[in-house]
Structure 1
Amino acid sequence: MSLIAPLQPDLILGKPILSLTPEILQQYHLKGLVLDVDETLVPLSVAQASEELVQWVAQIRNVATLWLVSNNLSESRISGIAKSLNLPYITSAAKPSRRKLRQAVTAMNLPVEQVAMVGDRLFTDVLAGNRLGMFTILVEPMVDPSVAAKYYPVRTVEVWISQALGVSLHAKQQNFKNPDKS
């Protein structure tokens, strides 16, 4: 296995999660999503889901089972967001550990290959999902990228290291596993 394979997302959306559509999920035969919370669904400084996110969840739940899995230790913050979206959740996931992802996938009662890990971070979300054999989707954080570079330097360093290793992070759908392979 190459050094970059665990960091290479199957799909790079190039936009925030709200651009992930039911059609994209159907194209890749995905029936479940494990969603990161901080910066993937809501900015770190926000403690509740936006109306736009609530509408997105309602649309996606028609085609996929959803779980929130966060590294965040704040039970009150994550539970509040989960309750506003009416979704099950897990905190303190310690991604890139696979343990809590496996717990969510097991609760979905779906084959791991039909569940995507969706997040904004390569070294936590994508790495954990790839390690478990999930389809991985990298989204842009729910903050302006120029703000993210200034206030979230870890993500900037992750992207730089990944690109130095040869990970392709272009927002195009040519960098994914063939969704039709068995």
Structure 2
Amino acid sequence: MSIEDYIPTFAVEAVYDLTPESLRRHGIKAVLVDLDNTLIAWNNPDGTPELRAWLDEMTIADLPVVVVSNNKHARVKRAVEKFGVDFVSRAMKPFTKGIDQAIDRYGFNREEVVMVGDQLMTDIRASHRAGIRSILVKPLVTSDAWNTKFNRARERRVLAKIEEKYGKIKYQKEI
């Protein structure tokens, strides 16, 4: 394991800061996005008006958004169906199963896809393995579901190594 496998291509404050213009400037034509603490707070499965506005903006700009989540089908479906967003559940990040499934389903070009997520250990690592760019966002809420707490502890150690070698990750307002 190399710490470089956990370094995101970009880091932004929140997924809602990503604009169609900034994505296109970087040649991005499709957005894969984690669900919990990236798109919605893990403990608020109904989302927010801000989420609705961001998804509408992406739809109008003809930039497909596909949720790629490690959660089970029923949980992801409940969270995204009212927004009309397609998803891949049980994605098995940090492995590439879910990312590959989404790319294959839509015929996306890997050079034109980005994975957005709040965890180095799953989202960013899976992106590296899948050969696509990544965007790290700050978690929407500071608490985590019980099964994420283990990853966060490991993530703190990896982050400390990244910061020791490269300095702090700087979160931008857009890419």
TM-score by length of 1: 0.82
Q: Do residues 49 (structure 1) and 47 (structure 2) align?
A: yes
Structure 1 residues 168 and 41 mapped into 2: Cα distance closer, same or farther (>3 Å)? farther
Unaligned regions of 5+ residues in structure 2, if any?
none
Q: Do residues 162 (structure 1) and 159 (structure 2) align?
A: yes
98, 101, 106: which one aligns with 2:99: 101
Q: Which residue of 2 aligns with 1:179?
A: none
Structure 1 residues 51 and 97 mapped into 2: Cα distance closer, same or farther (>3 Å)? same
RMSD value over aligned CA atoms? 2.2
22, 25, 28: which one aligns with 2:26: 28
Q: 8 Å contact 2:69–2:98 — kept in the other structure?
A: no
Q: 8 Å contact 1:12–1:170 — kept in the other structure?
A: yes
Identity of aligned residues (%): 27
In the TM superposition, residue 157 of structure 1 has moved relative to its aligned partner by: 4.0
Name the CA distance, whole Å, in 1 between partners of 2:118 and 2:105. Answer: 23
Q: 8 Å contact 1:54–1:85 — kept in the other structure?
A: yes
Q: How does 1:71-82 map to 2 (within 5 A)?
A: 71-73=70-72, 75-82=73-80
How many pairs align?
Answer: 167
81, 84, 87: which one aligns with 2:82: 84
Name the CA distance, whole Å, in 1 between partners of 2:140 and 2:34. Answer: 12
In the TM superposition, residue 160 of structure 1 has moved relative to its aligned partner by: 3.3
TM-score by length of 2: 0.85
Q: 8 Å contact 1:12–1:169 — kept in the other structure?
A: no
The amino acid of 1:11's aligned partner reads F
How big is each residue's C-alpha offset from its partner over 1:92-140, in whole Å with a ceiling of 9 and x where there is no partner? 1110110121010112222111100100000100000111111100001
9, 14, 25: which one aligns with 1:16: 14
Q: 8 Å contact 1:8–1:168 — kept in the other structure?
A: no
SS in 1 for 2:128: helix
Q: 8 Å contact 2:121–2:151 — kept in the other structure?
A: no
The amino acid of 2:128's aligned partner reads N
Q: Which residue of 2 aligns with 1:138?
A: 136
Q: Comparing 25-34 with 151-160, which one deviates more in the overlay?
A: 151-160
How big is each residue's C-alpha offset from its partner over 1:136-178, in whole Å with a ceiling of 9 and x where there is no partner? 00001111x4x56xx94742540332331436542257xx9xx
Name the CA distance, whole Å, in 1 between partners of 2:125 and 2:119. Answer: 9
Unaligned regions of 5+ residues in structure 1, if any?
177-182
